[in-house]
Amino acid sequence: MGKVVLISCVSKKRGERSKAQELYVSPLFRKNLKYARSLRPDKIFILSAKYGLLNLDDEIDPYNTTLNDMRSVEIERWADGVLGQLKEVADVENDEFVFLAGENYRKFLLSHLKHYEIPMEGLGIGRQLQWLSLQSGKSVCDVLHSKLQGVKRFSFPFDEREIPKNGIYVLFEKGEGGHGGDRIVRVGTHTGLDQLRSRLFQHFLNENKDRSIFRKNIGRSLLHKEGDLFLASWELDLTTRDAKEQHESSVDLDRQREVEKQVTAYIQDHFSFVVFPIEEKERRMDVESKIISTVSLCNGCGPSEGWLGGSSPKEKIRKSGLWLVNELWKTPLSEEEMKELSSLLGSGKF
């Protein structure tokens, strides 16, 4: 019995004729190929929507065809052709087949194979990337935490002159551990020019939960944990004039100021952070999103049993272990992107 690995093609490709293994350039394909080789199979093939079954060294031209755009009858016809090719190079009765491929690329083939496995069945792209990283040893999230542990840590009070004007901040919280150190619990940035310092002041000092969703989420958890009915008032956003005219008279402002002080005390006492500069807005937003996804997808980044966020009324906060509800479980940092970020963190040049 031999072992055969089947990897599906991807949309991201080089723009010129290349060997099949070099044509596909997405992080998912590269990780799939690396994992496939680690299995030491007898053969590795690529399932191409246009060319059918490909050897790694087959030279082909770029194309835009994908099974995801085909009707079921067309996919079945494609699978019949691939099965014919497969019978010429493998023993479909006795060989073991490993599918690193989406459902459309395998569903009409499985019934013809007696021995197969689908190691990432049911996982989305982000989870697949994370799973593949774990198979290769130290995960990207391990490396991320390790590198950030070596960056200067700030806590309140901090000297704003040491904070870059543009960049990303990463928060850690007392009692929250992971990867042999402190666990990342929030990642953030800013959209306006030169606003990183003011963003941190909005979190740590400015007692206005409507200017900091982080403060608002801390307050939500404190109130929800105690079953405090003031939570309904805390949810109101009084930023606009219309909102103030409509709701301010119904809010106990003295109580709100009291909760704001509780939030400030908790944040200043429990949180520390690192910052690193990135000048370009688009790059900041991309790196922020990918760090958030890297941490939220990681099985080694779970919250402690007593974590305050476990009392949040927001399911995404409870589930992710992060003081965040956006950019969760999306596209994580690739190994190459983590290497680039590691280099930048080490050099201090951004």
Dump pLDDT digits (tens) for 284-330: 999 999 999 999 988 778 899 999 999 999 999 999 999 999 999 99
The yes-or-no verdict on residue 273 having pLDDT over 50 is yes
Q: What mean pLDDT value characterizes the chain?
A: 93
The pLDDT of residue 136? 67
The pLDDT-based confidence of 350 (bands split at 50, 70, 90) is very low
For 131, list phi and psi in degrees, rounded to 5. -60, -45
- C-alpha–C-alpha distance, residues 89 and 46, integer Å: 13
The pLDDT of residue 349? 42
- By DSSP bridging, strand 59-60 and strand 18-19 are antiparallel
Query: Three-class SS of residue 51?
Result: coil
Is omega for the bond preceding 277 within 30 degrees of 0, making it cis? no
The pLDDT-based confidence of 180 (bands split at 50, 70, 90) is confident
Mean predicted confidence (pLDDT) in 229-243 = 92
255 vs 247, which has greater pLDDT? Answer: 255
Torsion of CA 187, 191, 194, 196, to 10 degrees: -20
pTM: 0.67
Share of residues in the chain with pLDDT > 90 (%): 79
DSSP state of 38: H
Under 8 Å between Cβ of 271 and 249: no
Could you tell me where the DSSP H helices lie in the chain? 20-23, 27-38, 72-89, 103-106, 125-135, 140-149, 196-204, 213-225, 231-234, 241-247, 253-270, 281-296, 315-320, 335-347
Under 8 Å between Cβ of 72 and 79: no
- C-alpha–C-alpha distance, residues 105 and 80, integer Å: 12
DSSP state of 24: B
Dump pLDDT digits (tens) for 96-154: 999 999 999 999 999 999 999 999 999 988 889 888 877 766 688 988 999 998 899 99
Query: For residue 231, what are the CA distances in angstroms to 183, 215, 219, 222, 226?
Result: 28, 13, 8, 9, 10
The pLDDT of residue 196? 98
The single-letter code of the amino acid at 86 is L
Count other C-beta atoms under 10 Å from residue 57's C-beta. Answer: 9
Q: Which residues on neighbouring strands pair with residue 173, listed in sequence order?
A: 271
Burial 249-275 (b: 16+ CB within 10 A, else e): eebeeeebeebbeebbebbeebbebbb
Mean predicted confidence (pLDDT) in 199-222 = 97
Which two structure tokens, joined as six digits, stand for 57? 């060294």
